[in-house]
């Protein structure tokens, strides 16, 4: 046909695409009785011959006539340690007859979703005397193109075993290729060289598996050549997967390892001193370095002592040293020096032991007496009596020892601090049963109110509400009593509203904010009316509302709370709370009622709407108090001007308006004009249901 530069394109679809999708959390190991061989090829996990036997569908291997395949690739070997997949691929041919007509063209397609091409173990090779080819694709998000050209007029200058460009050329493959394709061209349709070179060839082949010979110019018989692919888990690095709380599939005695030059997934590797399959439970087994002299450097084989993941070298009796060939080895101790050392050592040890024992006994007695003193002074005996009289309290509430909480917080290490303020410090603790707790260490306690403190601890320990932080126990052996609460992992609502931490940069959706408001209201309503003794929180604010991983709200910090006797509806107390949240009526009269919590909750609702702080001296004077600024804006029909950007949409505009009206009711100056928390909770729950069933709302409005 005489068509100059006829193109042969080999689409390598899927070869350099993203690696394996992250494994579903429910898959932890292959099912029992899975076959692990296809013909002569071992099929180790995470690969498998069925869905139950493989990590996921991307690692599913088919066994066709004793040939292991993934997609259209024939697998020859799978390596767990090197994370390699050795496969066979077709050779692309561009052949012409003496008339210059194309007589044979092969196209190769490579599909393997979990893999990328190993740039360290493969080469791109072009064979021919009238041939040039290009390798095109995407690297690091940008298009790339590179080529290789092979030209020769005869076989005279062709050198066997050399791919320098005469008859054969080769190019190294960059790392991190995606969407790769090859194009093979000829200058003169092989008309001039068709006698000894009727075809041009292009292929990617494993290094060392192709040795060029001049006879290949006449006919390269190989239809398939080996290729090494890299495989990995997921499409994220170890750190990215961990931050998103995705399950890392690496098992015991192994570690997660990122790919060196790309972020296309991660790999699992056995720790140093272990060998095996890190994707299987107990797959990484300890290597006994003492059985193989090449694995240890002890001076004598009998002096090697194997340990988990390592080994040590010992010296014979009466010798000293590290016992290693690359160290000081073992040297004999002079007998006289040994005797002197023994006598002096025994004498010194005896003195140290006796003195240490005496000091320890004295200090221990002092410590025991001091703990007993604190325990009695902090009302420990009263608490024990009340817990024994309260049915079920002893099972859910625990009196911790000072030693237990020291151990849980690594002796109150600063790295364990998760909160600090005027009230004291909160530490993150780990109990022996692996339960994570928050340990509150107040700065001071009023000794004249110990009995009241104990009564409140007993009542709070009986609160069992999903939106109230659970009080798990206390410690009375210290100068100031310590309180142990359940640990809430996602921090304070304040941080998420005002973006006070790196973990809180995501904007809370309106749906989430509405759910948080419903949950806080439900908790406060429970404290006011459903608890065995009504409780006024007295310090409701966004920093005392904690969020768990699912953004479920939990009311915390009852340090300033007060129990309301059954025959009283209000208490006379010293004004306590946080500026910006304090009930103005309470500030004037010192009369503490449930409506004081309603006012503070109203400020939290305004925070959720506006994303602004309750009190800020950085704002103009008339806007410093968020509650006053909000009420003024609402009165002037400027509500939507002060809401946080992105809060209002066409679908939730009515909800936001009703939400704002409810907040305004809670912020009434007179407590009698405010709704109860129960009424607030019911109205908020109605707003949430209006979102779930907007058609019901339309009908009710029309009525």
| Residue numbers annotated as active site | 539
DSSP codes, 277-339:
-TTSTT-EEE--TTTSGGG--BSSGGGEEEETTEEEE---TTEEE--BTTTT-EEEPPHHHHH
DSSP codes, 14-39:
TTSS--PPPPPTT--SPPTT---EET
DSSP codes, 324-361:
BTTTT-EEEPPHHHHHHHHHHHHHHHHHHHHHHHHHHH
Query: CA-to-CA distance for 191 and 96, rounded, in angstroms?
Result: 8
Query: CA-to-CA distance for 123 and 203, rounded, in angstroms?
Result: 8
Q: Which residues pair with 546 in a beta bridge?
A: 492, 554
Tokens of 12: 């390598």
Phi and psi at 627, nearest 5°, equal -65, -45
Between the CA of residue 324 and those of 304, 305, 313, 315, 321, what are the distances in Å?
A: 9, 12, 6, 9, 8
Tokens of 479: 């100068």
Residues 527 and 494: beta-carbon distance below 8 Å: no
244 is in an annotated binding site: no
Tokens of 186: 């000829």
Residues 148 and 123: beta-carbon distance below 8 Å: no
Neighbours of 467 (CB within 10 A): 20
For residue 458, the 8-state DSSP code is: H
Alpha-helical regions (H) of 85-166: none
Query: CA-to-CA distance for 276 and 81, rounded, in angstroms?
Result: 8
Tokens of 99: 């008339």
Q: Angle 339-340-345 (CA atoms, 0-180°, nearest 5)? A: 100
Question: Residues forming the annotated binding site?
Answer: 441
Binding site as annotated, residues for ATP: 441
């Amino acid at each position: 046909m005489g068509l100059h530069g006829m193109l042969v394109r080999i689409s390598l679809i899927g070869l350099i695409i993203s690696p394996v999708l992250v494994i579903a959390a429910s898959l932890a190991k292959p099912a029992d009785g899975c076959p692990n061989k296809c013909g002569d090829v071992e099929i180790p996990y995470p690969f498998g011959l069925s869905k139950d036997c493989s990590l996921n569908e991307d690692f599913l291997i088919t066994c066709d006539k004793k040939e292991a395949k993934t997609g259209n690739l024939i697998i020859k070997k799978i390596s767990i340690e090197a994370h390699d997949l050795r496969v066979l691929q077709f050779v692309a041919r561009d052949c012409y007859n003496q008339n210059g007509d194309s007589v044979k063209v092969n196209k190769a397609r490579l599909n393997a979703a979990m893999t990328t091409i190993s740039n360290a173990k493969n080469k791109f090779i072009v064979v021919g005397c009238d041939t040039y080819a290009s390798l095109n694709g995407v690297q690091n998000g940008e298009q790339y193109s590179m080529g290789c050209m092979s030209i020769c007029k005869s076989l005279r200058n062709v050198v066997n075993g050399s791919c320098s460009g005469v008859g054969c050329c080769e190019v190294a493959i960059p790392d991190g290729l995606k969407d790769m394709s090859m194009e093979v061209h000829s200058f003169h349709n092989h008309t001039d060289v068709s006698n000894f070179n009727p075809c041009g060839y292009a292929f990617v082949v494993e290094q060392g598996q192709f040795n060029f010979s001049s006879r290949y110019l006449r006919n390269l018989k190989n239809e398939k050549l080996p290729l090494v692919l890299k495989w990995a888990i997921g499409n994220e690095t170890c750190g990215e997967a961990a931050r998103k709380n995705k399950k890392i599939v690496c098992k015991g005695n192994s570690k997660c390892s990122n790919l060196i030059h790309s972020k296309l997934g991660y790999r699992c590797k056995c720790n140093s001193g272990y060998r095996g399959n890190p994707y299987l439970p107990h797959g990484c087994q300890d290597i006994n370095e003492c059985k193989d002299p090449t694995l240890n450097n002890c001076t004598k084989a009998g002096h090697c002592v194997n340990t988990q993941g390592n080994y040590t070298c010992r010296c014979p009796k009466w010798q000293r040293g590290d016992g290693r060939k690359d160290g000081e080895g073992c040297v004999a101790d002079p007998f006289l020096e040994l005797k002197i050392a023994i006598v002096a050592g025994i004498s010194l040890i005896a003195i140290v032991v006796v003195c240490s024992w005496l000091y320890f006994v004295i200090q221990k007695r002092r410590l025991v007496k001091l703990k007993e003193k604190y325990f009695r002074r902090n009302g420990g005996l009263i608490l024990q009596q009340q817990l024994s009289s309260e049915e079920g309290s002893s099972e859910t509430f625990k009196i911790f020892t000072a030693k237990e909480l020291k151990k849980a917080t690594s002796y109150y290490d600063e790295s364990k601090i998760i909160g600090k303020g005027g009230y004291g410090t909160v530490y993150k603790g780990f109990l022996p049963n692996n339960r994570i707790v928050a340990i509150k260490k107040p700065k001071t306690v009023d000794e004249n109110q110990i009995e009241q403190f104990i009564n409140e601890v007993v009542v709070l320990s009986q609160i069992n509400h999903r939106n109230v932080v659970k009080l798990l126990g206390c410690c009375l052996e210290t100068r100031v009593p310590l309180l142990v609460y359940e640990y809430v992992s996602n921090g304070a609502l304040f941080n998420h509203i005002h973006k006070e931490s790196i973990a809180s940069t995501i904007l809370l959706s309106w749906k989430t904010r509405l759910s948080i408001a419903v949950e806080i209201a439900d908790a406060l309503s429970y404290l006011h009316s459903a608890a065995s003794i009504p409780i006024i929180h007295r310090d409701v604010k966004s920093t005392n509302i904690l969020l768990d991983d699912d953004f479920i709200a939990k009311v915390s910090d009852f340090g300033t709370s007060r129990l309301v006797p059954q025959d009283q509806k209000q208490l006379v107390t010293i004004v306590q709370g946080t500026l910006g949240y304090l009930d103005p009526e309470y500030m004037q009269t010192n009369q503490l009622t449930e409506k004081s919590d309603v006012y503070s909750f109203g400020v939290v609702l305004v925070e959720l709407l506006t994303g602004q702080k309750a009190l800020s001296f950085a704002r103009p004077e008339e806007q410093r108090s968020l509650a006053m600024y909000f009420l003024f804006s609402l009165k002037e029909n400027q509500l939507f001007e002060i809401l946080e950007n992105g809060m209002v949409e066409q679908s939730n505009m009515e909800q936001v308006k009703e939400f704002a009206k409810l907040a305004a009711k809670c912020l009434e100056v007179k407590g009698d004009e405010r709704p109860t928390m129960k009424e607030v909770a019911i109205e908020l729950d109605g707003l949430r249901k209006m979102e779930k069933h907007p058609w019901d709302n339309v009908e009710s409005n029309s009525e």
